[in-house]
A = this chain, B = another copy of it.
Amino acid sequence: MTFNDTLMNLSKDKESKLCIGLDIDSDRMPNTMDKSLLGLQRYIEDIIDSTSNICLAYKLNMAFYERYGSKGYALMEKIVEYIDNRNLTIADGKRGDIGNTTKKYALSIFESIGFNSITVSPYMGSDSIIPFIQDKSKGVFVLCLTSNTSAKDIQFKKADNKTIYQNIAELCSELNNNNNIGLVVGATNPEFMKNIRDLNNLPWLIPGIGAQGGDLEQSVQISNQNSIGLINVSRAIIFAGDCNLNDVQNAAISFNNQINLMVDNEK
């Protein structure tokens, strides 16, 4: 089974297109909570137990773990092991190297830690992507269009009448022989999102919803036309209310229901 097929099937089974970003950050937790690494681990494990039936996937932003050095890296390994394939897992590391180096990253992410998929930065071109897509059961989400202001520095540049982000979307179509490539598309201008959705029906991973304020409805509707748009929400779920698990669970249910309703409305 290819990664993109697994993504579609699991989304139907779980009735979810929600990805929860497990971007642990002790600064956002009340001081009454245990902020040791063991305390953070237990909090994340509790979040997983409270939400794994609700969401489709978990995304771990690697920076939030590497910030604690090798002990944080070990925490990331424990979290992926704890999820234990109840949900899909995304290593949000935006790795972007070539050849032998990228092969080592693939070993690191897919085998050593055991993630199902990774985010990749394409500045070095297809050489950065190809070593990650050899195993069709493992997925790659390639940075295409991001919602930050300085996306204009590269992504919006126009060469041969096409923006760089359109070039990347097309490159990913060409490379998708194993049906395991998706795109990272920020919740940005609907016109730009439509430009990309018109080019192919690769799955999208959409960050920037919730605390970051992206437009949920437009992103859900455009991304899910003839494909799947995975909506990532981090802070607005894992630090919901005062970080008690009822608040976290209710936030996950609420986002999931909103997303499903928007998809239904579009049909």
Contact = CB atoms under 8 A, between A and B. Distances in A.
B67 A107 contact: yes
Contacts of A97: 61, 63, 94
A123 B73 contact: no
A128 B150 CA distance: 9
A181 B221 CA distance: 41
A112 B69 contact: yes
Nearest to A96: B121
A198 interface: no
Count chain B CB atoms within 10 A of each CB in A70, A76, A96, A126 and give the residue with the most. Answer: A70
A176 interface: no
Given A74-B70, A149-B127, A164 B157 contact: yes
A192 interface: no
Contact of A101 (B61, B98, B113): B61
A122 interface: yes
Interface residues of A, number: 55
Contacts of A159: 157-159, 164
Q: How many copies does the complex hold?
A: 2
Given A77-B69, A154-B164, A96 B123 contact: yes
A61 B105 CA distance: 10
Interface in A139-164: 143, 146, 148-155, 157-160, 164
Contact of A94 (B99, B104, B121, B160): B121
Contacts of A152: 125
Given A73-B69, A94-B97, A157-B159, A102 B167 contact: no
A66 interface: yes
A136 interface: no
Count chain B CB atoms within 10 A of each CB in A97, A152, A154 and give the residue with the most. Answer: A154
Given A98-B148, A153-B168, 12 more contacts: A23-B101, A66-B108, A69-B113, A94-B96, A124-B148, A124-B150, A124-B154, A125-B152, A125-B153, A127-B150, A154-B167, A154-B168
24 contacts: A63-B97, A63-B101, A63-B105, A66-B105, A67-B107, A69-B74, A69-B108, A69-B113, A70-B76, A72-B108, A73-B74, A94-B121, A98-B150, A121-B121, A122-B123, A123-B155, A125-B149, A127-B150, A154-B164, A154-B168, A157-B157, A157-B164, A157-B167, A159-B159
Interface of A: 23, 61, 63-64, 66-74, 76-77, 94-99, 101-102, 104-105, 107-108, 112-113, 121-128, 143, 146, 148-155, 157-160, 164, 167-168, 171
